[in-house]
A and B are shown apart, each in its own frame.
Chain A
Amino acid sequence: EPEVTQTPSHQVTQMGQEVILRCVPISNHLYFYWYRQILGQKVEFLVSFYNNEISEKSEIFDDQFSVERPDGSNFTLKIRSTKLEDSAMYFCASSERWETQYFGPGTRLLVL
């Protein structure tokens, strides 16, 4: 069964550094999402992406965040200047159209 994949699984960075989190959605899916989960808390929506454009973004998704689909398979989340509070698990998800979203295994980001 196809799955969403994410790299790296873990990322440690210094405050102020840029990080890029990578995702490969399921191949026939058209809608892509990023969510984050701070340790012990609920999953929070960051951004959705369709047809090479952001569909919706949350208040969390400020100017420090950007998303891109650089080629036909990858979907990336960039954080330009990381802050301590960006430490979280970041999940990519994809869906074929509406409804069922399939989540990747996540990237655990630690900002020191």
Chain B
Amino acid sequence: DQQVKQNSPSLSVQEGRISILNCDYTNSMFDYFLWYKKYPAEGPTFLISISSIKDKNEDGRFTVFLNKSAKHLSLHIVPSQPGDSAVYFCAASGWNTDKLIFGTGTRLQVFP
């Protein structure tokens, strides 16, 4: 029973364009959502987060959107750069726990 789903295992985007990574969740009790980026042979690195009381959070080239009614969040990267090529994990957590529940990841490739 996977509570956080990333249905696209991979995404390929041209440099300079927008990358949109999607994530769906099933548990309405989640109140905090995060995106992590992972390079090969490294651990996940925190990228950006959003609380359930917000619908958008922006940090430089990265913006996360949350649609609670649809139980959906997305990560927008604009403009995409070759260094953004990595696996992106969506994660969620509840208010009373530190436990992060991860999706299976989406591999983003940004080509010149």
| Pair from one complex | no
What is the interface of chain B, defined by CB distance below 8 A to chain A? none
